[in-house]
Amino acid sequence: MRFEGPASDHDGKRTMRRMTFTRLDGGRVRQRGEVSPDGKAWSVEYELIYIPKPA
- Residues 3-39 have pLDDT tens digits of 999 998 788 889 999 999 999 999 999 999 999 998 8
pTM of the predicted model, to two decimals? 0.82
Residue 9 has phi, psi (to 5 degrees) of -85, -175
pLDDT at 45: 95
- For the cut 80, the answer to whether the pLDDT of residue 50 exceeds it is yes
25: three-class secondary structure by DSSP: helix
Q: 36: left (phi > 0), else alpha (psi -120 to 50), else beta?
A: beta
| Domain boundaries along the sequence of the chain | 2-50
Q: Are strands 14-23 and 2-8 parallel, antiparallel or unpaired?
A: antiparallel
pLDDT at 9: 77
